[in-house]
Chains A and B, each alone.
Chain A
Amino acid sequence: MNLDQRADAAARELLDNVPDDLEGMLGELKRTRRRRTAARGVAAAVAVVAAVGGWALVRGGSAEPPDPVGPVDIPGRITYGLWDRELGDFQIWFAEPDGSDHARLIEGPSWQSDWAPDGRYLVYEDPTGLAIVNTDGPGERRLRTDLGTQWSPDWSPTGDWITFEGSRERVPDSSDFSGPPTSIWVISPDGEGLREVLPGVFGVEPVFSPGGDQIAFGHVTKEASWRWAEQAIEVVGLDGTGRRQIVPPRPGLQHVDWSVDDWLLFNIAIAPLGKDGPPDQGTIFAVRPDGSDLHVVRRGDDEVAFSNAVWSPDGTQILAMCFNRQRGLDMLCRMDGDGGDLEVIDVDQGSMNAAGFPAWGGVADPDAEE
């Protein structure tokens, strides 16, 4: 059998196995359109009420008026991906931590990002790899690594290094894991010093310690779908030594982040709509880097589930994705470091588009040279 015969057979099998209830699917599509139109109306109305009242924060999606809040005094700026329906992908936006002064930063598909410690630059991932952009003006350059895959960048607090998960070969874009495993890499912001920190260890989503001398990451110990892969949280020195396990492996453990005052955050994955998940799905946990004081920060429930939590630059607050089960929408939420005082951040501007990939930084260094 040659390639064309094999391709014909493979295509034919896909075509033979498509649903036959096309009328039913068409009906569902039209109902979905009506639901979204109605939901957009509610969200827009809430946004107008908030704007008239001068409120900076909107409790997302509720038809009830939001609680009035005063001006917020929170350090830094946030970045996030906002789903663009026409593009069919996310683009990075940035805003004040209360969601105000939002603007698109990257035009085109772009996802995870992280701030330089001086608050002027951002490293982000897009379809071709990693790039650095000046958030206050023009200027962008690519970090060339010759790697097939470069994901989840994190900028060290010292500014000297960027760590990321990478692979020499390209890892396919797929909902299920397939292809070569990634591992933890570092590179300097000027593109020099590319180095694999832990060769042969399937590592994901690395983040730096406050001192910049250690890296926490997810160690994939058992492959499954991306969502339910079994991960442990581990820490390793920047030079690849001193590797240790902080949280033992379990399915769905993901998204570690390290605060300035030495707390590690992580969460348990959220099952898709209509699918069962573990009881603690969508729950945010915190633990010390020595594995002590493991506790729940904010529990996911039937109304909202959390993921991708990151610390504020001062370690007092948390920015996370919050999946509103009723609206079926991923939004951004901010909460206190102990999980209290949850507030939805209005970043989708009533568009009913999903928000994700949160990052919090952008605290300008007053001593930084212009």
Chain B
Amino acid sequence: MSEVPRAETRAAPGLPQTHTVVSYDDFYVAELPRLIALARGLCGAGIAEDVAQEAMLVAYRRWREISDLERPDLWVRRTCANLAVSQFRRTMVELRAVARLGGRRTAPPEPASPETEEFWTAVRALPRRQAQAATLRFVYDLPIADVATILECTPGTVKQHLSRARRTLATTLGLTMEEES
């Protein structure tokens, strides 16, 4: 099982800006937009903000520990990706659990275009690990190794998830595809 790496050398060369962040506030501002996009891809617009906020809230509560990781960004993306595919179903208890953050939003998010909605609906219909791998890849353009760290599996498993996800999506959406490199 892949661990989120600890920070032996902070601010490693070539890593995105978030790795050098030491303040939670900076981390939040840098990470939240894509986190919302990740959640929106995985669970829809209605609750994406709440899911992303909940993930950031967990990070806030454990910031002393999380900030000590070399890649706190991978940690919070894992938390968000797991929250977003939990069973948001008819009992909806979890929705109200995360909605305890609510009350802030005054207007619902803009609806996505039909083409985009069709695409993410197809992603959400994938088995959950395939959906997570594909959304992380599409939203963040992450290398396989980072997706593997987030999903706590091997790079080979990620490749398998992505390959199957891409085949299914191409078939569902009637698209051609190039092989995942």
Contact = CB atoms under 8 A, between A and B. Distances in A.
Are A and B genuine complex partners? Answer: yes
A323 interface: yes
A170 B53 CA distance: 28
B101 A227 contact: no
A3 B116 contact: no
Interface string A1-29: 11110111111011101110011111011
A125 to B, nearest CB: 9
A67 interface: no
Question: Which one of A88, A170, A356 has the greatest number of beta carbons of chain B within 10 Å?
Answer: A88
| 8 tightest A-B CB contacts, nearest first | A356-B93, A226-B90, A354-B97, A14-B37, A3-B177, A10-B119, A328-B100, A88-B83
A28 to B, nearest CB: 5
A15 B33 contact: yes
A192 B10 CA distance: 56
Contacts of A329: 97, 100
Nearest to B40: A14
B93 A354 contact: yes
A85 B98 CA distance: 10
A269 B91 CA distance: 8
Given A9-B116, A22-B29, A33-B57, A2 B177 contact: yes
Interface string B92-112: 111111011111110001101
A140 interface: no
B70 interface: no
A254 to B, nearest CB: 6
B175 interface: yes
A90 interface: yes
B175 A3 contact: yes
A10 B103 contact: no
Contacts, number: 207
Interface in A267-325: 269-270, 272-274, 307-308, 321, 323
Contacts of A179: 125
A318 to B, nearest CB: 16
Interface string B35-74: 0110011011011010001111110110000000000000
Interface residues of B, number: 70
Nearest to B47: A175
Contact of A22 (B33, B41, B55, B128): B33
Contact of B96 (A7, A28, A173, A328): A328
A14 B100 CA distance: 24
Given A17-B112, A22-B28, A176-B44, 6 more contacts: A2-B176, A8-B138, A11-B139, A272-B92, A273-B102, A329-B100
B166 interface: yes
B89 A226 contact: yes
Nearest to B96: A330
B43 A32 contact: no
A274 B50 CA distance: 13
Question: Which one of B41, B49, B101, B128 has the greatest number of beta carbons of chain A within 10 Å?
Answer: B101
A11 B91 contact: no
A178 interface: yes
A89 B138 CA distance: 24
A174 B44 contact: yes
Interface of B is mostly: helix
Contacts of B175: 1-3, 6
Interface of A is mostly: mixed
Given A29-B56, A30-B60, A173-B88, A11 B138 contact: yes
A307 B61 CA distance: 31
B6 interface: no
Interface in B100-153: 100-105, 109-110, 112-113, 115-116, 119-121, 124-125, 127-128, 134, 138-139
Contact of A330 (B36, B86, B97): B97
B87 interface: yes
Contacts of A29: 28, 53, 56-57, 60, 101
A126 to B, nearest CB: 10
A13 B113 contact: yes
A22 B112 CA distance: 21
A18 B128 CA distance: 23
Nearest to B36: A18
A14 B139 contact: yes
A25 B50 CA distance: 10
Interface in A232-264: 254-255
A173 B57 contact: no
A57 B89 CA distance: 30
Interface string A62-84: 00000000000000000001010
